[in-house]
């Protein structure tokens, strides 16, 4: 049986679809140096204090946390006020009302919001890009489920029926010549993912690091399919956006945020820095930090790859019409 300690640890890694982690948002003052005037700017930026929506403790935000811990935002004249959000979907209306200036979340939710006209967004920084070995569909060793062809008539646990996880699961299943409609997708909160799999509440579970490593270590799970291969190789998972109106009114502030993020993301190319950063903010044990498979932390948003997300969303019914991501792509002003 998986230890209660491991389950509690898994809960700390709740995804965008659930509220498993509660972190007190910083109010009134930011975490980093800069102007003391929240509404004003300084000699570097129009707005010195920016409110950033973050889903805490995810592996995806390692680049942001590195930029914060290393003082890269401070170097750019920015003070970051963290606002905890449960998901990209929750962040969207807060971006629209100005409660947030920037927000982290999964790309599929931001694209859906843009396509629906809920908000006009700019993609100011990338977060995490999938890499083989960091995410997959897994089954218990005694289940007899070893490949996608064994999934017909089975249930697959996902964190949300609409979003990145279901999208990539459908794609890799179909790539194995299995009709995704013959598989039942069920919502299983990430906090309950390992327990649901172990107790037979679900046949197969879609897991991302570090839960994938925990499941291998504690349960000996079989990886049925990797959700970062074939049609979804190098799949963009998450990133950071800002309202287009904010970007237009605060070009220096936006550019400063993007530069700080690029530095933090760039540092993630070093595995030791990744592990140290995870230990700094994610409350995981050193042996887990060393074992997790991490993706790629791009220093800028790739329009071609992001279009791939939108096209796949159309293929599997998460968008009603073809959507061009080009207007969402942020272009820094010439220096």
Question: What confidence category does residue 39 fall into, taking pLDDT thresholds of 50, 70 and 90?
Answer: low
**What mean pLDDT do residues 143-164 have?**
92
Angle at 18 between CA 17 and CA 20, to 5 degrees: 150
Structural domain containing residue 104: 4-130+235-328
pLDDT of residue 14: 39
Report if residue 116 sits inside a domain.
Answer: yes
If one compares 12 and 63, the residue with the highest pLDDT of the two is: 63
Q: Tell me what the pLDDT averaged over the chain comes to.
A: 88
Report if residue 68 sits inside a domain.
Answer: yes
Q: Residues 20, 123: one domain? A: yes
Pairing of strands 79-84, 49-54: parallel
pLDDT of residue 100: 98
Question: What confidence category does residue 57 fall into, taking pLDDT thresholds of 50, 70 and 90?
Answer: confident
Closest CA relative to residue 232, chosen from 295, 147, 274: 295
Considering its fold, how many domains does the chain have in total? 2
**What mean pLDDT do residues 153-170 have?**
91
Report if residue 256 sits inside a domain.
Answer: yes
Report if residue 147 sits inside a domain.
Answer: yes
**What mean pLDDT do residues 231-245 have?**
95
Q: Which residues contact 282 (CB under 8 A, 6 or more apart)?
A: 12, 13, 57, 59, 62, 289
Q: Residues 116, 176: one domain? A: no
Q: Residues 87, 114: one domain? A: yes
Q: Residues 149, 250: one domain? A: no
Closest CA relative to residue 130, chosen from 58, 222, 209: 209
CA–CA distance, 12 with 201 (Å, rounded to integer): 21
pLDDT of residue 282: 84
Report if residue 334 sits inside a domain.
Answer: no
Q: Residues 196, 155: one domain? A: yes
Domain final residue pick, 232, 262, 284: 232
How far is it between the farthest Cα atoms of the chain?
63
Distances (CA, A) of 155 to 162, 192, 201, 203: 16, 15, 9, 5
Q: What is the pTM of this model?
A: 0.81
Q: Residues 122, 243: one domain? A: yes
Question: What confidence category does residue 150 fall into, taking pLDDT thresholds of 50, 70 and 90?
Answer: very high
CATH number for position 204: 3.40.190.10
Indicate whether 23 pLDDT > 70. Answer: no
- Predicted confidence (pLDDT) per residue in 253-292, tens digit: 999 999 999 999 999 999 999 999 999 998 788 988 898 8
Report if residue 167 sits inside a domain.
Answer: yes
Q: Residues 28, 84: one domain? A: yes
Report if residue 188 sits inside a domain.
Answer: yes
Domain final residue pick, 184, 212, 232: 232
pLDDT of residue 58: 85
Domain final residue pick, 232, 250, 279: 232
The size of the chain, in residues, is 335
**What mean pLDDT do residues 306-332 have?**
96
């Amino acid at each position: 049986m998986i230890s209660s300690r491991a389950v509690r640890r898994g809960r700390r890694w709740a995804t965008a679809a659930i509220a498993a982690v509660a972190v007190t948002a910083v109010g009134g003052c930011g975490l980093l140096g800069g102007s003391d005037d929240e509404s004003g700017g300084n000699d570097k930026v129009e707005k010195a204090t920016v409110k950033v929506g973050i889903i805490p403790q995810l592996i995806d935000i390692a680049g942001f946390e590195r930029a914060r811990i290393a003082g890269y935002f401070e170097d750019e004249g920015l003070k970051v006020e963290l606002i905890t959000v449960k998901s990209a979907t929750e962040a969207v209306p807060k971006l629209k009302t100005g409660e947030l200036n920037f927000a982290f979340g999964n790309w599929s939710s931001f694209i859906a919001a843009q396509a629906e006209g809920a908000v006009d967004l700019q993609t100011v920084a990338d977060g995490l890009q999938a890499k083989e070995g960091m995410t997959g569909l897994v089954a218990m060793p005694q289940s007899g489920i070893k490949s996608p062809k064994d999934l017909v008539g089975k249930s697959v646990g996902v964190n949300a029926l609409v979003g990145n996880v279901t999208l990539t699961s459908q794609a890799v299943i179909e790539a194995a010549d299995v009709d995704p409609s013959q598989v039942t997708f069920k919502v299983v909160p990430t906090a309950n993912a390992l327990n649901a799999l172990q107790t037979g509440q679900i046949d197969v579970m879609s897991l991302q690091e570090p839960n994938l490593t925990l499941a291998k270590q504690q349960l000996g799970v079989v990886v049925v399919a990797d959700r970062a291969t074939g049609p979804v190789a190098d799949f963009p998972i998450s990133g950071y956006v800002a309202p287009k109106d904010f970007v237009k009114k605060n070009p220096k502030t936006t550019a400063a945020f993007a530069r700080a993020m690029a530095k933090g993301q760039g540092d993630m190319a070093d595995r030791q820095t990744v592990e140290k950063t995870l230990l700094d903010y994610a409350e995981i044990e050193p042996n887990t930090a060393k074992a997790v498979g991490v993706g790629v932390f791009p220093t800028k948003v790739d329009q071609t790859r992001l279009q791939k997300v939108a096209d796949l969303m159309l293929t599997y019914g998460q968008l009603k019409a073809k959507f061009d991501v080009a207007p969402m792509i942020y272009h820094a002003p010439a220096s």
